[in-house]
Amino acid sequence: MARVVTPLRDPWEPFRFWLAITLAVYAIRALFPAQWPGALPGWVLLWMVLGAQALALRALLFPGRVVPWREGDGGWWNDRRDDWRLWWHRLRRRPGGPPP
């Protein structure tokens, strides 16, 4: 029996899309101040910005694709320590680096 793997969704996708629409509406309103797009009331943009903030809050509070703990993973501090060890190892191999 084949296992079905569902792709993980990006929690920031709705926020990015809504932010792009909000910026486009604002740009169109700013480019045509004397025509009807410039007459768009400010409260419309305010509600669009508040909607973008709500989507960002939702993505922050419910990330959906973050795995809180993986077996064998040391976490953030372990990653920093591994980076430091790798940097120090490369520095020691370089000519003119610190003595071994």
In whole angstroms, give the CA distance from residue 4 to residue 90.
42
Q: What is the pLDDT of residues 10-28, one digit of tens each?
A: 778 899 999 999 999 999 9
**Domain positions in the chain:** 9-63
pLDDT given at position 20: 94
pLDDT tens, position by position, 37-95: 888 898 999 999 999 999 999 888 887 765 556 666 667 777 788 888 888 888 777 67
CA dihedral in degrees (76, 77, 83, 84; nearest 10)?
160
